[in-house]
Amino acid sequence: MTLNRNGAALITGASSGIGAAYAERLARRGYDVTLIARNRRRLDALASRISDETGRAVEVLEADLTKKEDLARIETILKQDARLTMLVNNAEVGTAAPWLQSDVDTMEKMIGLNIVAATRLTYAAVPAFVARGNGTLINISSSVAISPEVLNGVYGGTNAFLLALSQSLHHELAGTGVRVQVVLPGATSTEFWDIAGMPLRDLPGLVMPVGEMVDAALTGLDLGEFATIPSLPDIADWDAFEAARRKLMPHLSHAHPAARYRARPGSP
């Protein structure tokens, strides 16, 4: 096993798809990796392959992050394991069904995984990173965070939450030595789409191979990007979007309503 200079990365939703690709790429970059998911068989197979191919230490933790006891166990690890230098919040569930055709209990479970679990794991990891003056938080969101009309509104809302949380932490943690990146992929070739009820065959020309997506995201990290949108041809478009948002900020809170909302002479 080669000397570890990068520490360890904990990756949720790591048994397949984006999480598995992150595990492979980070191990090749010199990280030890801790893999979190529900499917122990897949985790063990992935761990064995990564360890054999890279010589890195790979730890497997079977956990269902919608269960309080499992989530608490992973939180404790993030708080106490000083080897951990990176958290990749990747575990999520989604749906393509319209809001009016969705079951509210299913939507609540989605919020529990996509928002509650990610929030609790972030609260567990980031203070430890700040205390050590080093660490990286990567939140895997989605392009629907800025285009919620595309898929189910609750799913879009959970990803918008991750974007907002990342923006706030990026601002709050400046100067602490802790990096924050949010990744906003479009359609990616994972099992997500079959589970969400929209098979990949229904998305011709729109689906990026998962390896290419993760490679792009890590290149964005190398470039120092806060927000990485792997499909976006020109980063200037994101910069313009962000500039427009920032232009609004000084005008979002004033002592009186804007002139267009004030009563006019003769109005009731």
**CA 260 centroid distance within chain:** 39
The token duo for 90 is: 């990747």
Between 237 and 150, where is the model more confident?
Answer: 237
Query: Which candidate in 22, 31, 155, 261 is catalytic?
Result: 155
What distance, in Å, lies between the first and last C-alpha atoms of the chain?
79
CA 110/CA 168 separation, integer angstroms: 22
Between 215 and 193, where is the model more confident?
Answer: 215
Helices (H) and strands (E) in the chain, counts: 9, 7
Average pLDDT of 217-236?
96
What confidence tier does 134 reach under pLDDT thresholds 50, 70, 90?
Answer: very high
CA 82/CA 4 separation, integer angstroms: 13
The overall average pLDDT reported for the chain is 92
The token duo for 44 is: 């063990």
In 3D space, the residue among 108, 222, 97, 88 whose CA is nearest the CA of residue 162 turns out to be: 88
Contact residues for 156 (Cβ-Cβ < 8 A; gap 6+): 142, 144, 145, 147, 148, 149, 150
Domains and CATH numbers, the chain: 8-243 (3.40.50.720)
**CA 95 centroid distance within chain:** 17
In 3D space, the residue among 10, 26, 19, 16 whose CA is nearest the CA of residue 185 turns out to be: 19
Place of tokens 């479009």: 186
pLDDT digits (tens, 9 = 90+) for 115-129: 999 999 999 999 999
Q: Is the pLDDT of residue 2 over 50?
A: no
Average pLDDT of 240-246?
96
Q: Reply yes or no on whether 155 is catalytic.
A: yes
What confidence tier does 3 reach under pLDDT thresholds 50, 70, 90?
Answer: very low
Q: Is the pLDDT of residue 22 over 50?
A: yes
CA 159/CA 164 separation, integer angstroms: 9
Q: Is the pLDDT of residue 202 over 80?
A: no
Percentage with pLDDT > 90 across the chain: 80
The token duo for 8 is: 């360890």
pLDDT digits (tens, 9 = 90+) for 152-179: 889 999 999 999 999 999 999 999 999 9
Q: Is residue 14 helix, strand or coil?
A: coil
